[in-house]
Chain A
Amino acid sequence: MTDEAELRARVKALEALLVERGLIGTDTVDRIVEVYESEIGPLLGARVVAHAWTNPDFKQRLLADATAACWELDIGGLQGEKLVAVENTPEVHNVVVCTLCSCYPWPVLGIPPNWYKSPEYRARMVAEPRVVLAEDFGVVLGEDVEIRVQDSSAEMRYFTVPQRPAGTEDWDEERLAGIVTRESMVGVAVL
């Protein structure tokens, strides 16, 4: 493995060079990291899902064109150009992976977690999704439930709309958003 000190030096050198060339400002990277670490994350996707659960018209628009529907809630941006929302139902369970690299719907889910980027997840979820869901994530699905593995790419960045749990019929949108997890929107958890 490349030495950590070398990697640190290379990143620092690249940033210094880009600042010197006027391609970025001195605080540009700080600002971006701050935004992605504190403001952009699964809570945005949770708002989208809760809104879809409570507004059938919005859900239709979300499933038809997720990028446009998310913009209705002021959610969008880099890596959000080709968002695709897929709905989990009692019959069909969608789970998201990126086999080539780590394509991920940043505007709704933030920066991908380490397990999503790992070679094991990327390879095994495609080869044996039912086993991975059960053994690695504790999601045991009935044999009658069809599993669809959605392979994200630069053209299609998937996230799932999980099933709304029973017993939440009288909950308002804000309360519903509070129970929607990142894992449920990748399809490796059910609520």
Chain B
Amino acid sequence: MKLELPAVPRSNGELVFQSPWESRAFGLAVALAESGALEWDDFRVQLVRAIEDRDPTQPYNYYEYWLNALEQALVTTGVVDTRALLASVKSVLDHPEH
């Protein structure tokens, strides 16, 4: 059974993401959960930890914790290793046009 979509606005005019990298970080976690490469609960455990461990004197930056958690979850579960991750970051920084 499927209802017709009602004619309500799709957006309420609010920015859900403050900058494009936030939406990429969001999309990466969802993509890996959808494909089964990452268990959502493994990610969520890291997200809770990243939020708890934040520096309370710094501005709250949710997607920074999200990214920390995603990297940590992928390393912990062995999907990627820290060395490959750091090498990739270095490659991006060395070739900013990529």
Interface contact A78-B24, CB-CB below 8 Å: no
**A14 within 8 A of partner (CB):** yes
Cβ contact within 8 Å between A14 and B10: no
What residues of chain A lie closer than 8 Å to B79, measured between beta carbons?
23
Stretch of A33-41, A84-92, A130-138 on the interface side = A33-41
Tell me whether chain A's interface is mostly helix, strand or loop, or mixed. helix
The answer to whether B44 and A101 have CB atoms under 8 Å apart is yes
Stretch at the interface among A44-52, A60-68, A141-149, A160-168: A44-52
Q: Which of B1, B6, B92 contacts A177 (CB 8 A)?
A: B6
CB-nearest residue of chain B to A38: B10
A42-B12, A117-B62, A178-B7 known; A14+B30 contact, CB < 8 A: no
- Interface assignment of A15: CB less than 8 Å from any CB of chain B: yes
Main secondary structure of the interface of B (DSSP, over half): helix
Q: How far is the CA of A18 from the CA of B40 in the complex (A)?
A: 17
The residues of A that contact B67 with a CB separation of less than 8 Å are: 7, 10-11, 14
Structural contact, A177 and B8, CB atoms closer than 8 A: yes
Q: Which positions 1-39 of chain B face chain A at CB distance < 8 Å?
A: 1-12, 14, 16, 19, 21, 23-28, 30-35, 37
Contacting residues, chain B, for A51 (C-beta < 8 A): 3
Most buried by A among B30, B40, B79, B85: B30
Taking a contact as CB atoms under 8 Å apart, the answer to whether A174 and B26 are in contact is: no
Bound Cα distance from A47 to B31, whole angstroms: 26
User: Nearest-CB distance from A159 to chain B (Å)?
Assistant: 16
Q: Report A's interface with B, CB cutoff 8 A.
A: 1-2, 4, 7-18, 21, 23-24, 28-30, 32-33, 36-39, 41-43, 46-47, 50-51, 72-74, 78-79, 100-103, 110-111, 113-114, 117-119, 154, 173-175, 177-178, 181-182
